[in-house]
Each structure stands twice: as structure tokens, then as C-alpha cells.
Structure 1
Amino acid sequence: MKIVTWNINGIRTLRGGIQKALRALDADVVCVQETKVTRDLLDERTAIVDGYNSYFSYSRGRSGYSGVATYCKDSATPFAAEEGLTGLLTNHEGAVGCYGDQCDFSSEELQMLDNEGRAIITQHKIMCEEKEQTVTVINVYCPRADPEKPERKQFKLQFYRLLQCRAEAILKDGGPVIVLGDVNTSHLQIDHCDPTDTDDFGENPGRKWLNEFLHQTRQTDDQNAEEPDCVNDGKFVDTFRYFHPTRANAFTCWSTLTGARQTNYGTRIDYIFADCRLVQQFAGADIMPEMEGSDHCPVWGKLSCSLLPSSKPPPLCTRYLPEFAGKQQKLSRFLVKVDQKSVLVEQINSLPGSQEEGEKRENLIPLAAESISGKKRLLVSNSVVSKSKKIKTVNPPLKPQGSLLSFFKPKHTKNKQPEQDHCLNKVTSSLLNDQNPLTTTNTCSDKDIIHKEAEPSSGATVESLKDIETKPLPPQPSEGQSNTKNGGSSGFWKSVLRGPPPPPPCKVHGEPCVLRTVKKDGPNMGKQFFVCARPQGHSSNPEARCNYFAWVEKSK
């Protein structure tokens, strides 16, 4: 059994789509975070992937924010799946259960903790050492502690405590547990690119929680970590450090703004945690920094256990959603009046209970637009359905418009000659092609052009034609002349409209700097500055950017 976790930083912007990524990862269970997709934005190509069954959790408060999803191969179909950690989003069969003691949280806090779509839980049957077991996979995207928002720091710690409460409750129930995803905290100093620049590294509240949640293994250079002696204390093990206790510079997240991935100046904040019993069944675990497409890289773990797939996916599976189950694809539903009460009764049972009431109303009433347009929509649909009634058009169809030459061509009279019409067509076509009619080769003489009569409504008069003869168009410049004029005009505009000044060179490398803008709230909001163009890196790395900094001076 191979499992993978990956923060993809937007599932709709993933290169080649999610199907290509799943094939490249080649895992039985793929857990992705930060999908940035809500139910109304979820398309069939993302939700229904051939050979997989998927389970999504969406943010209820913001669009394009947070969100997690778990993709399972058909050979690894879970028998239970649930959205969230609190149980408030689940009221259907196939739930995981075991919620633990939540007395330390108020009902409002529990609702808020599950409101951002940060957890999906699936349960699978595995065969380990000729014994059938139930393994629970908890896919989480832990919040980020925004230093400018103290309430988010508290929110992050509450989410950690709720995650621990749920994981330990499932573990006490007797089944092995895997917690994986983006935890948004680097655990040890070896997991950080520059821990010496971080004050009070071990005093970070997130690291304190990790020290409490994880079993600390002894790190040695010549062998793997010691066998964890934490079977009875309910703690978890970092599978990567279990197999690579002393590997340095093993990071999973880099800043894209500073190009830090080029210098491997990052942190390890994506993990696969397993309980102490189950970690001994792991055959390996590692990171995949070569996999691009996000500011994170995937992390994989492999168990020496075989999977026993369920014959049917649980109700949370996206293939059961009405928009993907074919229950809203019939055209007759939009043309024939349907009893909305029966529609609600039919579809309310098929929707998973993880949706809010607002989302239910949006997805349960496919004919909601009909009630908005009122009787007018009903009249149109009735007219389409009824074959005996004919639809009457109010206005006759418009006549097709002619070509542009028809506006220059006079109306035909009995006295007009065909050859004169041919001559005028030559003149008008030459005008449209920016040619001189006098230099254009034609079969009519100049006298024929002068004596050509035209009606005023046609747009061409005798006087205008005389002007064409007596005032020929200026000669077209040659290719060399046109280039000279264009060059002169561009030089003139460059002298008048001066662009921004060239960026200054940095003091260390002598290379042109890059322009940045302050986006942080404060007195410098919106101000621009120059910094070294090289990627961010450790101060000891000569290839990293230097400390050059200069504000952009406003022109007077």
C-alpha cells in the first residue's frame, strides 16, 4: 500500500490536470491539500478520474481558499469516508465515527474549525501479517499562523488539539491511524533551512504541540532510529525521520516569490505520521523534490500490507453528487414542469450530509432559475413542448447586408452601361486597397471615369470622382523609406515619453536588481524597492542573493 500527500496549491491550475498528476505519483491513496475549489467550481474532469474515486472537503466561508481531497484507486476503495474532524458535517451512512471528548470546545468553535474544509478521513481494509485490519487515513491541511492576526494563531492551536483528540480516539478504538498532510510547522531544527536565524526555535507553540503529539526517536548516523517504544502512550511517529533520522536539507516547501527552490532554502512542513504499531509495517518513506507544479513537493510512504477494496464507495464519494451522477443531465427536466417537492424528496437523500443548507438549496433545485423568471419562462417552455402550436415571430427576419463595395456602387438605371459599372468597381476596390486608381491597370479610360454618373445616395459623386483624378493619392514610400520614418517617429516618442530608469546593480554581484512592491499593511504600503535578483538562500551560499536594498525615489 503506497500513500502520498501533496499540497498542490490549486487543483484547477495543476499542470496537465489532476489525472496526469495521479498517474505520475502512482499511489493507492493520494491526499492533496489547498485545492482552492468549492463545490460550485468543481468540474467533472477533476471530480471523476478514471480508475479512482475521490472525496472532497470545501471551504464554506471563502471561495478559492483551503480545501482538501483524497483520491483512492478503485483497488483501494475505502468502506467509510467522512468530511471534517468534528462530526458536524456528517449525517449519512458510511461515517468513520469515534470523535473523542470535545468538551474543551464550544459549539461555535467546532463549527468554525470545520468551516474551512481542512480534513477528509477515509477508512480502508488492509491485510498485515495475515491479519485483516482497518486503517484510518486522516488528510489535513492545518492553518497557517498569520503573525499579523493573533486570532489565527489561536485558531491553529485549536485545530491541532482537535486533530489530536480525533486521532487518539480512533486509535483507542483499536484501529491503526495515519495522519498526513500540510501541518504548517517545521518540527526540528534540521527541518528548517536557517534555524539559527529563528529566535527561540523550540518555544514555538506549534513545535511544542508536535513534541507532545510525536514520539521522539533517537537519531544515529549508522542505523535507523530505534524501534519506537510508545505502543501504550498513543503517540505517533514521523515516518520520514524514522527512515532518515539525520538527513539534512530535506525540505518540502519553498517560497516561490524569492525563488528559494533553486537554492533549496525551504522547510519541511509536510508529513506522514503513523501510530507506533503501524510504523513498523512501513517499508519506506521519502520526499519527492523533483516533482514540480506547486510550492510544495509530495511525500510518500509505503506499507508492506495489501489492500482489501470495498465493493462500493461510501456516500461521500463525488460520483454520487447529483451534478456528476447524471440526475441533472436530462433536457426534459428543463422543458417539462416538474413537481419541485418530489425533486427535493428524491435528491435530499442522495446528497451527502457534508453540505451546508445554502449549498443544498443551490444543488437541490435545478429549476430554481425557472422560479426567478416566473411565468415568462413557463410560457417559453410550454411553447417548446407543445408541437401543435406555432411560434410567431414579432419582427420579420432582417435582410442580409451586402459587401462594402455595395455602398460605393450606384443604383442601376436603364441608361447605365455594364462596362461603366465595371470601371467604377475598379476604382472603389482600388480605394479600399489604398492604391492609386490612376496607376491601377484597368480596361476603362480616364474619360469613362470622369463621365460616370452616380446618384448622391450612393456615396460617389461626379465631383468626388474628379477629385480622384485631379488629386491623386501621394506616392507610397518604399520599404526603406517607411523604416526610416518609423524609426524617426519611435525615436521621437522615446524622447518625449521616457520609460522607467534602468534598475541599479547590486553591490556584491554587480547584476541588475529586480523591482518589488510592499504589500504589507503599514506606512510603506505600496512603496517600491530594488533587491538583488538572485534567489533567496543561506547567507553562506555565494549563489544566493545578497543583502542589497534600495527604495525607489519618486521623480519630482
Structure 2
Amino acid sequence: MKIATFNINNVNSRLPNLLQWLKSSKPDIACLQELKSTDEAFPADALRKAGYGAVWKGQRTWNGVAILARGALPIVTRTSLPGDRDDSQARYIEAAIDGILVGCIYLPNGNPQPGPKFEYKLDWFKRLQAHARKLVKDKTPVILAGDYNVAPTEIDIYPTKSWDDDALVQPESRAAYAKLVKQGWIDSLRERNPDKRIYTFWHYWRNSFQRNAGLRIDHLLLNPALAGRLVSTGVDLGARGKPHASDHAPVWIEIKDTTARPARKTKRAVKR
């Protein structure tokens, strides 16, 4: 089973890119962020024709999240992060798919910092930590996937001083992410690539993608019930290099599908 996260950066404007990626990559589950679309304008019909059922929480301007499932319709369990009834920003949606609970996250950017936007980012992080604490020990497989707007360590950003004042690399942001992971979550991409510089986001300016001047801010966190099924991970760099691409690349993992029928034993078993 393949699970991916993709900050699409305007789902309607980049719908051809999204459909092309879905066709070539064939994720079984895909989390989308930064839809920049109202609920009414979300391209559910186009995605259905491409073979994907979808649930979403839209919002005009910068927010919006969605979960897609190939050949199935996700079962929504919540459409907002608990802890603040007054928070109207569409940044979290959660659904059950094939025995897996999927949380799709678009964590606040937090810039400029210091200031109200940075405080909102840290408050949102605290709410995420509280909710995640209830999920990490669940016997149900859980994945929290999305754009966390945090480059967790120095290896997650290209060597530079130009980002020193950015909210994505502040000690408070990194500490909040580390505290979340220490609950028992597995950072899947880093788990399989402990020392490698891997990026998932590149600004449009100054040929950042061509120079590989990027950051790793899109993460897929697995609870222990799912982490043991992790097979492989990757970043679809080709999608970032397409015309009219999002400034993020899709990030994916493959996990063992426990629902698959076991192979019939023969005298000469084939080793995998």
C-alpha cells in the first residue's frame, strides 16, 4: 500500500498536475494541503473520474485539506483539530481507510515571527500534540501526514543563513516537532534516511529547485502499530519539475498490506 502527502498549492489551478501525478504514481491514499478552494469548488468529480474518492475541508485563500483514496471513499472521523472551537482555519481532516486512521495536516506557517502568527503556530502545535498523544498508542494503525511547516534539524535545510529568522527553523518550532515525535511517532522518511539531505519544498525564486536549495517540511509520522509495516519511502522530484508545479514535491511511503491474501505454499517457496 502506498500513502503520500502533497501540498498541491491550489488544487484547481494545478489539477492537471495532480491528475498526472495520481496516474503515474498511483498512491492508494493521498493527503493534500493548501487547496485554496471552497468546499463547493473542490474538483471531486474530476478526482472520481480518475479513480479516487475524496473527503475535504475547503477554504478560500491559503488553507484547505483533503484525503483521497483509490477506489474507495474515506470515512471522515473529524474535520478539525480539537482544542479550540473558535479556530476556523481549515488545517486538519481525519478519516479511516482500509483499517488505517489518516490525519491530514497543514500546520500554520508562522511568519512573520515573532508575532501573532507565530504564536498561533505554536498553539496549534500544542493542540496537535494533545490529539496525537491519544492516537500514538492506539492499536489501530495511524498516520499523521502533511505539511508541518518545520524543518526539524539542520540537515533538513540546505546550508544557508538566509532562513535564520524564518518561523520554519526557529528553536521553538523545532522543539515542538521534536516533542511530538518523542511521543512515539516514527518520522518515516528520516527513519529510512537517517543522514541524507532530503528536501520536499523549494521556493520559486532564484532557481531554488534547480540548485536543490530546499527544505524538508512535509512529513509522514507513523504510530508503532503502523511503523512495523514500513517498507520504503521517497520523494517524487519529477512532479516538482513539471511546468506550473507546486513548490512542494509529493512525499510517499509504502507499507505492507496485511489484508493481502498470503501466497499458497509450494514445495519450492519463493523468497521475497
Query: Structures share a fold, TM > 0.5?
Result: yes
Higher strand share: 2
Check whether the contact 1:58–1:116 (CA below 8 A) recurs between aligned residues.
no
Alignment of 1:269-284 (within 5 A): 269-284=217-232
Alignment of 1:81-480 (within 5 A): 81-86=77-82, 102=83, 109-112=84-87, 115-125=88-98, 134-147=99-112, 150-194=115-159, 204-215=171-182, 234-248=183-197, 250-292=198-240, 293-306=245-258
Check whether the contact 1:189–1:195 (CA below 8 A) recurs between aligned residues.
no
State the alpha-carbon separation in 2 of the partners of residues 198 and 42 from structure 1: 33
State the alpha-carbon separation in 1 of the partners of residues 169 and 110 from structure 2: 16
Larger RCO, structures 1/2 (Cα 8 Å, 6+ apart): 2
State the alpha-carbon separation in 2 of the partners of residues 50 and 190 from structure 1: 37
- Structural RMSD (CA): 2.4
Q: 1:73 aligns with which of 59, 70, 75?
A: 70
Number of residue pairs matched? Answer: 254
Gaps of 5+ in 2: 261-272
**Where does residue 394 of structure 1 map in the other structure?**
none
**Where does residue 534 of structure 1 map in the other structure?**
none
Per the alignment, do residues 12 and 199 of structure 1 end up closer, same or farther by CA in structure 2, a change over 3 Å counting? closer
State the alpha-carbon separation in 1 of the partners of residues 31 and 258 from structure 2: 19
State the alpha-carbon separation in 2 of the partners of residues 166 and 148 from structure 1: 25
- For residues 508-544 of structure 1, the C-alpha deviation after alignment (integer angstroms, 9 at most, x for no partner) is xxxxxxxxxxxxxxxxxxxxxxxxxxxxxxxxxxxxx
Per the alignment, do residues 46 and 120 of structure 1 end up closer, same or farther by CA in structure 2, a change over 3 Å counting? farther
Larger radius of gyration: 1
Check whether the contact 1:17–1:46 (CA below 8 A) recurs between aligned residues.
no
- For residues 68-122 of structure 1, the C-alpha deviation after alignment (integer angstroms, 9 at most, x for no partner) is 1111012x54444431122xxxxxxxxxxxxxxx4xxxxxx4321xx11111111
Identity %: 25
SS in 2 for 1:245: coil
SS in 1 for 2:135: helix
State the alpha-carbon separation in 1 of the partners of residues 132 and 211 from structure 2: 36
Per the alignment, do residues 22 and 240 of structure 1 end up closer, same or farther by CA in structure 2, a change over 3 Å counting? same
Q: Which amino acid aligns with 2:64?
A: G
Gaps of 5+ in 1: 87-101, 103-108, 126-133, 216-233, 309-556
SS in 2 for 1:271: strand
State the alpha-carbon separation in 2 of the partners of residues 282 and 43 from structure 1: 31
Q: CA deviation at 1:46?
A: 4.1
Per the alignment, do residues 46 and 118 of structure 1 end up closer, same or farther by CA in structure 2, a change over 3 Å counting? farther
Q: Which runs of 4+ in 1 moved over 4 A?
A: 195-203
Check whether the contact 1:167–1:177 (CA below 8 A) recurs between aligned residues.
no
- For residues 400-445 of structure 1, the C-alpha deviation after alignment (integer angstroms, 9 at most, x for no partner) is xxxxxxxxxxxxxxxxxxxxxxxxxxxxxxxxxxxxxxxxxxxxxx
State the alpha-carbon separation in 1 of the partners of residues 50 and 137 from structure 2: 36
